[in-house]
Chains A and B, each alone.
Chain A
Amino acid sequence: MSTASGTGRKGILLDTTRCVGCGACYQACKEQNQLPKTADSFLQDNLSANTFTVVNNRSGRFVRRMCMHCEEPTCASVCPVGALQKTASGAVVYAKEKCIGCRYCMQACPFGIPKYEWESTFPYVRKCDMCSGRQAKGLATACATACPTGATQFGDREQLIGEAKQRMAANPGRYSGHIFGLEEVGGTSVMVISDVSAAQLGYPDNLGKEPLPQLTWNVLEKIPKAVSFGGVLLGGIWWITKRRQEVAKAEGKLRRELPKREEL
């Protein structure tokens, strides 16, 4: 088990073939974040404002679900006040004092991770922060620390990618060969390897390689140009139509005056 060291981006590697479904990660997360009990069995629990990770049985595999900590996080991109940020260590963290509660992050996250305190009159968004507090002390995340089998492993993202490839090379029959999160939506800090496809594990399999923030930025970046162009265009139309009106007025006046002159 590695601990946070160096300046590189951190990550978490999830290996479903190693998971025995003991729930240590679930329990460690609850303990670390001081979250109340939400279900009799972690296998039946769902992500919520009080549950940042779960272990579920999907297609006969124990699969963890948690914030993927995207390399280019959609949630951080859509937040109008910048309450969500990607830190240098790779964690996507939330500054509750900034949040206005628009919930665009919840709407936009392709993994459906941010959850809301619906029962509170002063509600905040809740999600995994990749144990930023522990990382600052040089510790691994609570879930990785608790995992007895190495199904959840914390370390430098680059090293974890190497580790994943090594495991797949050493045991080709045990893995599908795909590292989920290596390239999806531009890459994620949390990556998953398994013997079955991401779709069978309940992860979205329709994500492209392009980071989602690009979809809105393509439009937003055109705004300054569009506004200046539109302003000039509207100003021009205003000037031309006004001039045309003045000309028409003058011509009408002329036409009315002309016969008078002819009479003279």
Chain B
Amino acid sequence: MKTKLFSMSRISVWHAVLVGILGAGLYSTYVRFFHGLGASTALRDGFPWGIWIGFDVMCGVALAAGGFTISAAVYVFHADRFKPIIRPTILTAFLGYLLVCVGLMFDLGHPWRIWHAIVMWNPHSVMFEVAWCVMLYSTVLALEFSPIFFEGVGWKKAADAVHQLIVPLVILGVLLSMLHQSSLGTLFLILPTKLHPLWYSPILPIFFFISAIALGCGMTILESFLSYRAFRKRIEMHILSDLGKVMAVALMLYLFVKYLDLSSRGVLGLAFQPTYEGRMFLFEMALGVVAPLILLLINRVRRDEFGLFAIACMVVLGTVTNRLNVATTGLESYAGQYFPSWMELSITAMIVSVGFVAFGLAVKYLPVFPKEELEAESRLPVPLLPFVDALARPLGRPVMTVFVATVVLVIAMSTLAYSGLLARKQVTAEPPVQQPDISAGLAEMNFREVLITKGSESPGQVTFNHATHVDMEKPACADCHSQRFRILKTTALPAKVDMHDDQHCGSCHDGKKTSFNVSEDCETCHSGQ
């Protein structure tokens, strides 16, 4: 393999960016593990899950959807024309799951106890299902990926052995992946009162599943273009165009079911209200479903390299937005605003960058892409980004117009969403404080008399009378019963204690405040025998 990972001119820029991201990420990692989640994240009691769950876990799993979509197509449906792209999709799925696992290590309070899920079962928990899906599917993906590795290092026999098992392995993988994709939606089924009605739906698992298929196709298209650019390894355009068709079917189904769901729950109107949630929902739908669907239905666009690239970008970004909306935006109306801290963002950026580097290294050193194509393509000059290339052609211009229109749409929506956010902030006005009527409670007041143990030099027994010490306008038990007079063990005062000191009776009975001084008239208190 003669191709270089990056050409010389790009090394300095990309390497500097990478080093910067890694540096910031490593610092944040240190803060996370040595000073805790409070010091490193914007998470709080009302917002226990943030970007590490919303992006690293939810999107990591979603991005791996290409793996199960393509391996099912090739091994189960015998759609052999997709065979050339099966390896890059399995590689991406494997890396996606590593992103999930690493993200979880940062997010969990006690990551080293992750094995607890294996021995301490609770089948009623969706998280339990998720944990098992992550473990099993990561194993399956590692096995599916292993032949690529074995071939790369020249262990032919091992590769053949795994290949014997590939069909049951793929079927298991597809089942696990389908379960996992949908279970991430199931996680939120238990939040009917917290998640905004635009996202809370009894069929959330179905939405997560359908969108995962569309996203899986989108990721595969994106990857093949990016590898084409970086490594001059290209996938036949007609295969990608077919993927586009699968994506169109998935998006159409998604749109149809989404419409039925929203209208049957009577919340369709919320989407068009000028609220933060409404805007974010339209944003997600326009970018990830409607715009790409319209573009896909135009043959000229679907068969165009740049057109397909633009569509794939939209679907990926739209689905990522959807996952983030479900995990964070949709909860803000209940729990208040959340925006990740820079440390949360830098750790996510670090994990994603490592994923990209790992993808690059795997493509460089392992037989991920078919060999014949590699040799044929390596003679071609390195192309620029497909869309720069596409601009030069007449076919590219209408597509570019659509793309620019989408970008404008995105910016407009973001602005509107932000204005919705500002509007919400201003609404919070404090209601006037109303003083409670406590007369009924006072009538029930049960005062206890406390006998204080008589000391050896005491002139007489003291009986503490609650009734004379409580302000009936504003009873405040907690004022006295803080540290000195324990509320649960009032009789267990230390045996030898000077009750006259400023820690006990003397703290109030000092003659200065409303009360008399402890040293004045003994009889007042020491009236007993």
Contacts and interface: CB of A to CB of B under 8 A. Distances in A.
Contacts of B194: 107, 110
Given A204-B193, A223-B179, A237-B77, A82 B122 contact: yes
A118 B126 CA distance: 24
Contacts of B189: 215-216, 219
Interface string A11-49: 000000111111110111001100001000010000110
Interface string B350-365: 0000000000000000
Interface stretch (B276-284, B383-391, B442-450): B442-450
A146 B175 contact: no
B495 interface: no
A259 interface: no
Interface stretch (B221-229, B248-256, B479-487): B479-487
A153 B125 CA distance: 33
B477 A119 contact: no
B186 A112 contact: no
Contacts of B45: 47-48, 106, 112, 115-116, 118
Contact of B36 (A98, A119, A174): A119
B122 A79 contact: yes
B488 A146 contact: yes
B441 A17 contact: yes
B370 interface: no
B117 A142 contact: no
A27 B193 contact: no
B436 A146 contact: no
B186 A124 contact: no
A241 B122 CA distance: 39
A205 B78 CA distance: 54
Sort chain A's interface into a size bin: 35 or more
Most chain A Cβ neighbours within 10 Å, of B193, B205, B448: B193
A206 interface: yes
A206 B311 CA distance: 41
Given A32-B488, A81-B120, A241 B477 contact: no
Given A17-B441, A59-B434, A80-B122, A28 B117 contact: no
Nearest to B122: A82
Contacts of A48: 45
Nearest to A246: B78
Interface stretch (A2-10, A154-162, A226-234, A250-258): A226-234
A118 B122 contact: no
A145 B488 contact: yes
B205 to A, nearest CB: 6
Contact of A22 (B76, B125, B130, B477): B477
Contact of A31 (B34, B192, B488): B488
B478 A23 contact: yes
Given A57-B434, A60-B436, A241-B78, A146 B477 contact: yes
Contacts of A238: 75-78, 167, 171
Interface in B468-505: 474-479, 481-482, 486-488
B488 A142 contact: yes
A20 B433 contact: no
Contact of B48 (A57, A79, A106, A212): A106
Given A101-B109, A234-B76, A80 B128 contact: yes
A69 B478 CA distance: 25
B475 A22 contact: yes
A102 B126 CA distance: 12
Nearest to B114: A100
Contact of A99 (B110, B477, B478): B110
A62 B436 contact: yes
Contacts of B486: 31
B190 A234 contact: no
A213 interface: yes
A77 interface: yes
A209 interface: no
Contacts of B479: 23
B487 A31 contact: yes
A21 B475 contact: yes
B108 interface: yes
Contact of B46 (A61, A99, A112): A112
Given A27-B482, A148-B446, A116 B434 contact: no
Nearest to A213: B124
A74 B178 CA distance: 25
Most chain B Cβ neighbours within 10 Å, of A19, A23, A47: A23
A220 interface: yes
Contacts of A220: 123-124, 126, 129, 186
A238 B481 CA distance: 74
A216 B477 contact: no
B39 A102 contact: no
A23 B194 CA distance: 30
B110 A122 contact: yes
11 contacts: A17-B441, A22-B475, A23-B479, A80-B116, A106-B45, A108-B191, A120-B36, A123-B109, A150-B444, A217-B124, A238-B77
Given A27-B482, A238-B167, 14 more contacts: A31-B488, A59-B434, A74-B190, A77-B190, A79-B127, A81-B113, A82-B122, A83-B120, A100-B108, A100-B117, A146-B481, A151-B444, A220-B123, A231-B171
Interface of A: 17-24, 26-28, 31-32, 37, 42, 47-48, 57, 59-62, 74, 77-83, 98-104, 106-108, 110, 112, 115-116, 118-124, 142, 145-146, 148-151, 174, 204, 206-208, 212-213, 215-217, 219-220, 223, 226-227, 230-231, 234-235, 237-238, 241-242, 244-245
| Top 4 closest pairs, chain A to chain B, by CB | A101-B109, A60-B434, A118-B38, A23-B478
